[in-house]
A and B are shown apart, each in its own frame.
Chain A
């Protein structure tokens, strides 16, 4: 079966531009997570969805970041007016449900470079 897919795999943009990153979770997974991985850093939790709802948006670094999920499936992470410090790998993960014992399956990530 297909795993979590993300697109694009690489994105180079100029400072100040908006970018959209897409995540296709595993079919049937109700929970979806976004993380940011900066060079040499761990995984920074950004936001999670249970179905189409994102109850806690406090992990988003600034109001330039937003995310949505439609139809309980595809999710889009949008970064407006990108800054150089936004350069990182953005990882998406999905799990059957939210909760401790549900394994999170990660996509390959989108490498974002802001020039």
Chain B
């Protein structure tokens, strides 16, 4: 059972554009929603995370938007750069339970 659904599977954006990746979840008990970034040959690394008591969190060019009623959250990358080209995973977890990851989005930012 896929608890976190992520889209799109791949995304191509021009340099300077906005990259948007969406995730939807089913379990209303989830209370922590991180995004991980993975470069080729490396393990994923935490990029930014949000808890459901806020609707938006911004760190530099990266913003998470969270819609609790719709059970959806998204990652926005403003002014996308070629160095942002990577695979992005959304995830969700609750209490002391284990994290469930989305299928990943391969982002390519063209110069």
Which residues in A have some Cβ–Cβ distance to B below 8 Å?
A: 4, 33, 35, 40-43, 45, 48, 91, 93, 98-101, 103-109
Contact = CB atoms under 8 A, between A and B. Distances in A.
B23 to A, nearest CB: 11
Contacts of A104: 46, 99
Contact of A106 (B43, B49, B94, B96): B43
Interface string B80-111: 00000000010001111111111110000000
B18 interface: no
B104 A4 contact: no
B100 A99 contact: no
Nearest to B31: A100
Given A99-B95, A104-B99, A42 B46 contact: no
Given A42-B101, A43-B89, A99 B43 contact: no
B32 A101 contact: yes
Contact of A48 (B41, B49, B98, B100): B98
A108 B42 contact: yes
Most B Cβ at <10 Å: residue of A35, A100, A107 = A100
B96 A43 contact: no
A64 B41 CA distance: 26
B19 interface: no
Interface of B: 6, 9, 31-32, 34, 36, 41-46, 49, 89, 93-104
A100 B93 contact: yes
14 contacts: A35-B101, A42-B89, A42-B103, A45-B99, A93-B43, A100-B31, A100-B32, A100-B93, A103-B46, A103-B49, A104-B99, A105-B45, A106-B36, A106-B45
Given A42-B89, A42-B103, A33 B98 contact: yes
B100 A45 contact: yes
A94 B45 CA distance: 12
Given A100-B31, A100-B93, A101-B32, A43 B98 contact: no
B96 A108 contact: no
Given A100-B93, A101-B32, A45 B42 contact: no
